[in-house]
């Protein structure tokens, strides 16, 4: 079985590539390194002790994309490639719509041209745009993402749904991730965003490592037990394993299915700081800052569909997540 992994050099893509290789799949990886580094590919090969073909291709370049399908017999695609920074999407909406949506349209057209009709797609909990003290299920409405990034994910889900309606041979599993975090236990791959991190755990890791002075906690006056925002943090290795289950599901079913990937547990910013201090043995200096525009108070998953449909549930806890991030941070220096 040959799986094309778009965005395979990225954070979630690299962990999924190692799981695929260890699971006996053949992979072909595509990335344009807009948000990743070529060195990650060697680390994947080192962990899995297997080599794989790589294409430095941008999804926007149709001819280059077509060449991959001409040269390789692709059975299914796991589609991670996309831009993902919320604030950047507000500043550069055209770039986000073009990259994420046109890129996906190109990919789907070429897949159809070559009769490859199975896809696992990286969607996001951001499509819900809901502030709720209840865990969020897949049917939750209204779906009102409040930033261009979230809108690209919702639009892509709808496009994929329409493709499945138009051709009943298509099979798409759209996975709505909650808050991916953690790193591989080897310490070789993890999340290393370019520039100053937007997300909580990469930011804390850089504070613990002395690269940044202190964390700003965005608001301590939310209607939550300690006043800070609550999220569902999921270990990237658990997430990667869910993609193998989703792939199997895509081979056994047709049509589009949409599935949450989270743990069902919510943690506050203060709880995350405490967990990271435990894992690293370092004090995390912080200051309370104003709320970040667009942030929700609480967002966590009802993960029961993933369990019943994919037979998957998260196994790694918050301490493991923080420990693995710290190990990775120290290894990369
Ligand atoms: P990432 O930025 O680390 O990985 C994405 C990869 O896609 C990068 O390596 C980037 O270089 C590549 N890429 C982007 N545009 C491309 C293009 N036009 N052509 C070729 N390659 C391109 O991000 P990640 O955290 O690994 O996220 C993977 C997917 O999951 C993304 O689609 C993201 O939107 C989605 N997602 C991520 C999160 C999160 O918090 N990490 C949450 C929900 C959903
Ligand atoms: N936070 C801080 N300080 C920081 C960064 C974050 O206090 O420096 C807080 C936020 O206010 C929030 C929590 O930490 O309460 C988590 O924030 P993140 O930026 O890590 O994550 P978000 O929940 O805002 O968003 C992430 C991804 C989105 C994805 C979403 C899915 O960035 O792409 O999870 O739930 F869509």
Convert the pLDDT of each residue in 140-195 to its tens digit. 987 889 899 999 999 999 999 999 999 999 999 999 999 999 999 999 999 988 88
Residue 41's alpha-carbon distances to 11, 89, 145, 254, in angstroms, are 11, 27, 33, 32
User: Helix 103-113 and helix 148-166: axis angle, to 10°?
Assistant: 20
**Least reliable range by pLDDT among 109-113, 196-200, 265-269:** 196-200
Ligand 2: residue of 11, 85, 231 to mutate (most ligand atoms within 8 A of CB) is 231
DSSP state of 133: S
From the CB of 272, is ligand 2 less than 6 Å away?
no
In the chain, the percentage of residues whose pLDDT exceeds 70 is 100
**Is the bond preceding 177 in cis, omega lying within 30 degrees of 0?**
no
Q: What is the pLDDT of residue 133?
A: 86
- pTM of the predicted model over 0.85: yes
Catalytic residue numbers, as ranges: 149
Ramachandran area for residue 33 (φ above 0: left; ψ -120 to 50: alpha; else beta): left
Q: Mean of the per-residue pLDDT values for the chain? A: 96
In the chain, the percentage of residues whose pLDDT exceeds 90 is 93
Residue 45 has pLDDT above 90, yes or no: yes
Ligand 1 centroid – CA 84 distance (Å): 6
Q: Which two tokens stand for residue 149?
A: 């990034």
From the CB of 198, is ligand 2 less than 6 Å away?
yes
Atom of ligand 1 nearest to the CA of 59: 19
């Amino acid at each position: 079985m040959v799986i094309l992994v778009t965005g395979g050099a990225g954070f979630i893509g690299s962990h999924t590539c190692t799981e695929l290789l260890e699971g006996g799949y053949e992979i072909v990886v595509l990335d344009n390194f807009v948000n990743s580094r070529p060195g990650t590919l060697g680390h994947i090969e080192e962990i899995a002790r297997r080599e794989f073909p790589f294409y430095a291709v941008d999804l926007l370049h149709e001819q280059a994309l077509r060449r991959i399908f001409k040269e390789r017999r692709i059975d299914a695609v796991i589609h991670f490639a996309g831009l993902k920074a919320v604030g950047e999407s507000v500043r550069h909406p055209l770039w986000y719509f073009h990259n994420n949506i046109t890129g996906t349209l190109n990919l789907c057209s070429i897949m159809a041209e070559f009769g490859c009709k199975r896809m696992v797609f990286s969607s996001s909990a951001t499509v819900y745009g809901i502030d709720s003290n209840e865990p969020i299920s897949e049917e939750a409405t209204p779906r009102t993402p409040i930033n261009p990034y979230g809108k690209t994910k919702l639009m892509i889900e709808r496009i994929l749904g329409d493709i499945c309606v138009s051709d009943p041979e298509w099979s798409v599993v759209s996975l709505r991730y909650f808050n991916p975090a953690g790193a591989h236990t080897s310490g070789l791959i993890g999340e290393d965003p370019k520039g100053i991190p937007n997300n909580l755990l990469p930011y804390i890791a850089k504070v613990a490592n002395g690269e940044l002075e202190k964390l700003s906690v965005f608001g301590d006056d939310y209607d939550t037990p300690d006043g800070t925002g609550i999220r569902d943090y999921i270990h990237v290795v658990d997430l990667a394993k869910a993609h193998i289950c989703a792939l199997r599901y895509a081979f056994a079913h047709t049509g589009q299915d949409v599935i949450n990937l989270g743990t069902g547990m919510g943690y506050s910013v203060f709880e995350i700081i405490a967990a990271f201090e435990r894992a690293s043995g370092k004090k995390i200096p912080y200051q309370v800052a104003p709320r970040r525009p667009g942030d929700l108070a609480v967002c966590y998953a009802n993960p029961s569909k993933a369990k019943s449909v994919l037979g998957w549930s998260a196994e790694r806890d918050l301490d493991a997540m923080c420990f693995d991030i710290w190990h990775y941070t120290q290894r990369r220096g």
